[in-house]
Amino acid sequence: AAVVDGEPVAAAIVAPAIGDTYTADDTGAYRNGEPIAVSDVDEPRKAAVDPTIWWAYDARDEYARACEAIVTRFGDMRRFGAAQVVLPTVAAGGLEGTITNLRANPWDTVAGVFVIRQAGGRVTDLDGERWRHDSKGVVASNGALHDEVLATANEIESD
């Protein structure tokens, strides 16, 4: 991602294994040069959500809570294993959301977050505030289901 004054202005994500290149700039978001947009699904039972970023082995209880929260609220859970693939998949409408309660590395997330925003989606931290490179948690959605996705992300933390 290219960043000016702390804000992304352009991004590129290359996923050679699946043959996709995602880009975004001030004109929109694209997959292989074609415009993309987030999905218009607005019913949780029809939505697919992904728990992203890697939880350490000793944090398996948090990962289990993430999975349980997703399958309890949404119609499907998918696991892609890499934020660099998951985030642009949300942008292209292949998922309705993705969550983690962890502080993600900027090199894993900044480009994908920008692609989602340029595709019409929403990305916040665990408090529902605009996500930044130093935020705790990543809550990304198509926008229509953001409140549900955010509530799900907040179920991960132990009481």
CB-based contacts of 77, cutoff 8 Å, min separation 6? 48, 49, 50, 51, 67, 70, 71
Provide the pLDDT for residue 159.
Answer: 52
Low-confidence ranges of the chain (pLDDT < 70): 158-159
Provide the pLDDT for residue 28.
Answer: 98
CATH class of domain segment(s) 2-154: alpha beta
Q: Where are the domains of the chain?
A: 2-154
The sheet with strand 7-15 has its strands ordered as: 2-4, 7-15, 20-25, 28-31, 34-35
Provide the pLDDT for residue 81.
Answer: 83
Nearest CA among 87, 94, 75, 97 for reference residue 143: 97
Per residue in 44-85, pLDDT (tens digit) is 999 999 998 888 898 889 899 999 999 999 999 999 889 999
Q: 37: how many CB neighbours lie within 10 A of its CB?
A: 15
